[in-house]
Amino acid sequence: MTAAGNPALNTAARPTRGGRRLSLSWLGVMPFFVYVGLFLLLPTAIVVIGSLTAPTGGVSLTNFVGIDKPYMVKAFTLSLSVSAVSAVAGAFFGAVLAYAVVTGNPRGLLRRSIMSASGVLAQFGGVALAFAFIATFSTVGFVTVFLKDHGIDIYANGVWLYDPPGITLIYVYFQIPLMVLVFLPALDGIRPQWREATESLGGSTWHYWRYVAGPLLAPAFLGCTLLLFANAFSAYATIAALLTNGGVYVPLQIQALLTSETEQSQPGLAQALAVAMILIVVIVMTLYTLLQRRTTRWLR
């Protein structure tokens, strides 16, 4: 079948810029824009507008006042601190692992397997991760029982798996692989010649890291840490599966508001919490993008 005889197609193929041709071009991207309009932009708009609508109607910030309650403040403090600690720990260990990977054979099997394993494990949030840590560290978990048989009781001061320290440990499990994925390109950009140049000028390993590699990698490291923070802050499934009786974290507060009767009395509070989450993530991700841009300028 040929389209040569079809005048409409021939016109479309000609690189002219008429009004009709332009509208035809726009028609091609309409399905995409209609779809994201319906399922991404509309829900976001519902959340934002809902959060700014007072229970009695009209624009107001009443819903955000609900965040001022002590348990809401605690929810934000806990969510933010767990995200921050897991991001810093994940960034540090992830960077160390990435360095161990990058100093190996760039085309080797080890590097390829670690990269694809990181791809899987960075996505390994959710319910399965909660079960994995229950199987490992709960009171009947593999490691707990094993250590107890050898005279070490990791729960001598009470069970911490379901508390912030435990949640942080669980989050680090998906933060490290994500760090490897996002930080490795920056490490790859570091040239061996720079080290050789440092050495030929009489610099030591410490000088190299302090004055050459460190400053070059700092923006990338900081940016990736921010990405990890946003990643942990958005996470919901793991804590939901782990803390089945609810807990004082922002996502769980939204869940409670969405599924319980309280929503009837405060329809806008869930939206206000969602907007607060979106705002925090947007700020963090904007900083990440700026730092990332700076990194790509240096490491070519």
Q: Which is nearer to another protein, 31 or 151 (CB)?
A: 31
Burial 109-130 (b: 16+ CB within 10 A, else e): eeeeebeeebeebbeebeeebb
Kindly state the smallest distance separating residue 176's Cβ from another protein, in Å.
Answer: 7
Cβ count within 10 A of residue 277:
19
Q: Which one, 62 or 175, has the nearer CB to another protein? A: 175
The DSSP annotation for 193-225 comes to: HHHHHHHHTT--HHHIIIIIIHHHHHHHHHHHH
* Integer Cα distance of 130 and 222 in angstroms: 28
Distance in Å, CB of 113 to another protein, minimum: 8
Min dist. Cβ of residue 48 to another protein (A): 8
- Give the three-state DSSP class for 53: strand
Name the minimum Å distance from CB 160 to another protein.
Answer: 16
Say if residues 291 and 222 touch (Cβ distance below 8 Å). yes
- Nearest distance, CB of residue 111 and another protein, angstroms: 11
| CB of 81 vs another protein, minimal distance in Å | 17
Q: How far is the CB of 248 from another protein (least distance, A)?
A: 15
Closer of 25 and 77 to another protein (Cβ): 25
How far is it, in rounded angstroms, from Cα 42 to Cα 45?
5
- Indicate the residue among 54 and 110 with the shorter CB distance to another protein: 110
Q: DSSP string of 157-174?
A: T---TTSHHHHHHHHHHH
Radius of gyration, CA atoms only, the chain: 25
Which tokens in the block code for residue 129?
A: 């991760």
Nearer to another protein, 195 or 294 (CB): 195
What would the two tokens of residue 93 be?
């260990």
Q: What is the dihedral angle through the alpha carbons of 71, 74, 76, 82, rounded to the nearest 10 degrees?
A: -140
Per-residue CA distances from 282 to 47, 108, 150, 233 (Å): 15, 37, 48, 12
CB closer to another protein out of 184 and 240: 240
Report residue 52: phi and psi, to 5°: -95, 5
Residue 10 CB, shortest distance to another protein, in Å, is 10
- The smaller minimum CB distance to another protein, of residues 44 and 81, is found at 44
Dmax (CA) of the chain: 85
